[in-house]
Chains A and B, each alone.
Chain A
Amino acid sequence: MAGVGSACLFIALLTALYAIAASVSGARSGRREWVTSGRRAIYCVAGLCVIAFGVLESAFLRSDFSFALVAEGSSIETPTFYKVTALWATQDGSLLLWVTLLSLFSTTVLFLTRRSLRDIAPWATAVLGGVAAFFLLLMIGWENPFDTLATPPADGVGLNPLLRHPAMMIHPPMLYTGYVGFSVPFAFAIGALVARRPGADWIRATRRFALIAWTFLGTGIMLGALWSYTELGWGGYWAWDPVENASLMPWLVGTAFLHSIMVQEKRGMLKVWNVSLICATFTLALLGTFLVRSGILDSIHAFGASTIGVQFLVFIGLVVALSAGLIISRLPLLRSEAKLDSLLSREAFFLLNNLVLVGLCLVIMWGTFFPLISEALTGTKASVGPPWFDRLVTPLALVLVLLTGIGPVLAWRRFTPAALWRVLAVPIAATGAALVLLLAFTDAADSWTSLLMFCLVAFVLTVVSQELWRGTAARRTMTGESWPRALGRLTGRNRRRYGGYLVHAGIAVLFLGVAASSAFVDQRDVRLRPGDSFEVNGYQVTYREPTAKLGGDSGGTGAPISFGAVLDVRKDGKHFVLRPSRNYYSTADPSLGTISRLFEGEATSEVDVRWGLTRNFWMAIRPDIGSLDKPIREADAKFANASGDVQALIVAALAERYRRDPPPAAFRAISSPFVVWIWIGGGIVVLGALVAAWPSPEARLRRVRSLYSARLGQELSRA
């Protein structure tokens, strides 16, 4: 079967190269049949990639350890869900997922544009084929997911236990879909430049793809944060780790792109800026894919030394050089059709929002690559920590949230201060009221930046509500519909606009969660024996009893042993129970005894969180299994050749011993307000983006009409 997979990749590479050649020659000679052939070649690449993906996935499901990848990343007792997802936890498998998603995206966009954009589409086909060819070449040349083992092992190594978390397994495909999605607008931007068609056509054709890519990337980032919060055992959701930053950077620039293309669509301005932004977004997406694999930066995350770092750098260099060269050579074509009329206009504020977003990205990029920069400049590798990021990012984030509120109510071209006051009077009053209430009833004043953020959130939410209210009221007076019906119709008829408002509201809610949970968190680290208590933020926590479970841990990750605790938490007469635990996985290290091996593999925290709308109570445990060292060693010596059953009995005895005479365990308790709103805000953003991306019936009608009139024109010209 591995042969089939390898063959698929090889034929896909040849087909992708053919697609490039056919499209380019078709575009140059104007022969449509070559263009059509090139486009269909991309469909074939997608088919071949899907087959290869299916072959590999079935190998994982069948636990076919003759595949080197399966032997490394899966094992017989790995639960089925994690067998399926282990494919993209491996380097080679994740590359295959990347290229499969890319070819599917390419096929979709090329199919949808098959009757339009005749000048641009062939060049875009060539670009998409080029990107696919690069990834296929990477796999065939250096990281073949279909490498086989001459002597398959009886069992595989198994999936890294840290990754056995549902959010972590959905997170990579989400991120990749985001990264890959941005290659579509990139390809069409390049196509528009090559074909000297710098109008807004390429934007209209790919705007929706950019929005979908942006949504997936954002969802991926949110899931990564959730994984960090519930699996990593430190209690935070964002650490300014290089890998996190790598996914945030293209998202920020992509956000800027989604805003600035509206200026080009409406006013014919910012053309150079837009093509530069999409080229930057795609480059950053490649950089994100590369960073996770290169090992050039120290990170919490998994960075193995990789064989494909140089190839990636060469490709990224090529993309940058090609984009920059093309943009510079087409500068005369990219002149603005209009000038900025006034600084009090929507386009001026969009530009400002773009500068803030790109500025944020530059700050994060500088911090992320600082170890390399400082090594180059001073010879020593130095790095900046989260406090540095927080200090620089916070003011920019505050400005960004302010703009989130002001942007939507501004008119294009020009705006008088009096008109601005008319739409902002109510939100400003609401912000003032929020400020007074916060100062009077909460201790929000303890953190000025958070207080400011809360006020800005109130501002944004009032602006969005006011816009919805005004629109609905106007529609009701005109049509006499009921309130909900008017609201639904209003949103349905202007999806882009009201979807956008919803996204803005979601972002505000997200920042509410970030500001509250980062500034007003209470955390304690304690060491307790059963029966001991401690207090954090008014919560009385008592360590009731230790637990020791064999097999079947609560998360279904297939952990053989987990030690944990049952804790009673009381506050104001309310009572709940938390059961944090720690899973221990076995290792195959031959230098250890048979029983030691069962305990000395990876260990992961299974934290327990009491989720609440106003406050989360988070607990993790780190049991001290040092007291078991001696009996484990004795067992190693006595039962060196014990069978599986005997081993299970010994482990059961050890677990019983731990339960009977538990040593003190280390606990971390975190009480943080409004954390859940980060993910609720994220959910609202996704919902808003879906509303904005969903094709409206009017747009479909318009498209059909324009197609019809184009045909009519063609017929008339022939006649």
Chain B
Amino acid sequence: MDPSRKRKVRLVVALTAAVLLATALIYTSFSASTEASKPSEIKPGRSYELTGKVVNGSIRHDGDDLRFRVRDRDGTTSVPVSYTGVVPDPFRDGREVIVSGELEHGTFVAERDSLVTKCPSKFTKDEQSS
């Protein structure tokens, strides 16, 4: 094979590999992703990543289950959440949380260990009182 042809072959191989990787990246990310939704947006029948704030005074322990309500960040629509698993340290009333799961019979049943609580920032003051 003459050198210019060889270079062309190499280029084609490299480009094909790059395109394949990019396609895999795009395809897998869109098929594996979960939508982030507010409590007012979720409907039964598919899984969501629920984001919102914990309603003040709504946290209850029920055996191994943790029950609380999540409301829209800037609204009052709320949904009850049933959760099992590890509870992040900063979890409490009024904090912003993200939790994955599915709506079943009016209750958002969360996947085990999926609860994420946003810290009241390392870089800003505690926003609890606001």
Chain A residues near B (Cβ < 8 Å)? 72, 89-91, 94, 157, 160, 162-163, 232-235, 292-293, 298-306, 359, 362-363, 366-367, 370-371, 374, 380-385, 387-388, 391-392, 525, 527, 587-591, 600, 602-605, 620, 622, 624, 626, 666, 668
Contact = CB atoms under 8 A, between A and B. Distances in A.
Interface residues of B, number: 41
B125 interface: yes
Contacts of A233: 86, 88-89
A384 B29 contact: yes
Contacts of B34: 382-383, 385
A384 B98 contact: no
A94 B63 CA distance: 43
12 contacts: A232-B88, A298-B98, A303-B118, A359-B21, A366-B25, A367-B29, A371-B36, A381-B36, A382-B36, A383-B33, A604-B89, A624-B61
Closest 4 CB pairs of A and B: A304-B124, A302-B122, A304-B121, A91-B123
A302 B121 contact: yes
A189 B36 CA distance: 42
Contacts of A90: 122-123
Interface of B: 21, 24-25, 28-30, 32-37, 49, 51, 61, 63-64, 84-90, 92, 98, 100, 113, 116-126, 128-129
A679 B80 CA distance: 41
A349 B108 CA distance: 51
Given A300-B116, A385-B34, A160 B122 contact: yes
A370 B29 contact: yes
A163 B122 contact: yes
B36 A383 contact: yes
B87 A366 contact: no
Contacts of B89: 162, 232-233, 602-605
A385 B86 contact: no
B21 to A, nearest CB: 6
A171 to B, nearest CB: 11
A382 B35 contact: yes
Given A232-B89, A304-B123, A374-B30, 14 more contacts: A91-B123, A157-B126, A233-B88, A298-B51, A300-B88, A303-B119, A304-B124, A370-B33, A381-B36, A385-B100, A388-B28, A591-B129, A602-B90, A605-B89
User: Which among A234, A293, A305 has the highest number of chain B CB atoms within 10 Å?
Assistant: A234
A191 B120 CA distance: 42
B122 A366 contact: no
Contacts of A292: 123
Given A304-B123, A589-B129, A591-B129, A234 B35 contact: no
B40 to A, nearest CB: 14
B28 A392 contact: yes
Contacts of A163: 122
A233 B115 CA distance: 13
B60 to A, nearest CB: 9
A587 B84 CA distance: 27
A306 B123 CA distance: 9
Given A160-B119, A298-B116, A525-B85, A380 B28 contact: no
A157 B122 contact: no
A299 to B, nearest CB: 7
B33 A72 contact: no
Contacts of B49: 382-383
A72 B121 CA distance: 12
Contact of A384 (B32, B90, B125): B32
Contacts of B128: 587, 589
